[in-house]
């Protein structure tokens, strides 16, 4: 199975400061159709994951523009330009190029100071 | 708006089966595949399987092969996930998801 490795596993950020999370896949996520099937989710306690970014860099509907995704091949990054209190939670990267199965990173817990 | 509404929490004994439903609305059900993902307490989400809601084709994670069955009822716009031979390690929240949209989750507790 595809292995997704996230770093760091936890992050403590002051409101207004930037934050960055890395995700590396064990194989390229570039499909022959030209798309790269890498997603970023935020999960808050007691809620399902909510999609932030799809196909590396596309913000999902309603996601604030302080969230951005970048990367290619096997290396990807989620950046928050100015962290807000509501950004607290666990962030997961996920790949869906390999089916079965989709696989998720181990998660990065973001705490707001 | 797209909504996925799941059935309620379940408590099962080891060895039993559980069937969770996921009713979709706000889009044409047969146009999109539906996946099932579970999440044990404090763990990352874990993909279990997928159904093409149009033709009913399924794919399952090797980990659950033989124990999980995903079906759909197109007339009811509902997908189902059945997991058999339950053990304590199957205690988790089970989600249906269309990648961008997720059900609210169904807690399945396996306990004697």
pLDDT digits (tens, 9 = 90+) for A37-52: 999 999 999 999 999 9
Q: What gap in Å lies between CA A99 and CA A97, rounded to an integer? A: 6
Q: How confident is the model at residue B112 (pLDDT cuts 50, 70, 90)?
A: very high
Mean residue pLDDT of chain B comes to 97
Q: What is the mean pLDDT of residues B73-79?
A: 98
Question: Do residue B45 and residue A101 have CB atoms under 8 angstroms apart?
Answer: no
Query: Does the structure show a pLDDT above 90 at A1?
Result: no
Q: How confident is the model at residue A104 (pLDDT cuts 50, 70, 90)?
A: very high
Q: What gap in Å lies between CA B79 and CA B35, rounded to an integer? A: 9
Q: What is the mean pLDDT of residues B19-44?
A: 97
Chain A residues within 8 Å of chain B (Cβ atoms): 39, 48-51, 54, 60, 92, 94, 96, 99-107
Q: How confident is the model at residue A83 (pLDDT cuts 50, 70, 90)?
A: very high
Q: What gap in Å lies between CA A72 and CA A57, rounded to an integer? A: 10
8 Å CB contact between A3 and A102: no
Note the pLDDT of residue A10. 97
Question: Do residue A102 and residue B105 have CB atoms under 8 angstroms apart?
Answer: no
Interchain contact B84–A (C-beta under 8 A): no
Q: Which residues of B are less than 8 Å from A94 in CB distance?
A: 45
Interchain contact B51–A (C-beta under 8 A): no
Q: How confident is the model at residue A80 (pLDDT cuts 50, 70, 90)?
A: very high
């Amino acid at each position: 199975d595809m292995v997704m490795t996230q770093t760091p596993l936890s992050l403590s950020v002051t409101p207004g400061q930037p934050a960055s999370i890395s995700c590396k896949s064990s194989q390229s996520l570039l499909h022959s159709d030209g798309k790269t099937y890498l997603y970023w989710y935020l999960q808050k306690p007691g809620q399902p994951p909510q999609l932030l970014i799809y196909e590396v860099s596309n913000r999902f509907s309603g996601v604030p523009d302080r969230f951005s995704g970048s990367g290619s091949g096997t290396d990807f990054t989620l950046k928050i330009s100015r962290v807000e209190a509501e950004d607290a939670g666990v962030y997961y990267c996920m790949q869906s190029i390999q089916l079965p199965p989709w696989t998720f990173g181990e998660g990065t817990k973001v705490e707001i100071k | 708006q797209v909504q996925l509404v799941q059935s309620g929490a379940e408590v099962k004994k080891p060895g039993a089966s559980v069937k969770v439903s996921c009713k979709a609305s706000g889009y044409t059900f047969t146009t999109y595949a539906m996946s099932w993902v579970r999440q044990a307490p404090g763990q990352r989400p874990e993909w279990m399987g997928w159904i093409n809601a149009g033709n009913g084709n399924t794919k399952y994670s090797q980990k659950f092969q033989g124990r999980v069955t995903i079906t759909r009822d197109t007339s009811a716009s509902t997908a189902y996930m059945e997991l058999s031979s339950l053990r304590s390690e199957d205690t988790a929240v089970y989600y249906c998801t269309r990648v961008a949209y997720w059900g609210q989750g169904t807690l399945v507790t396996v306990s004697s």
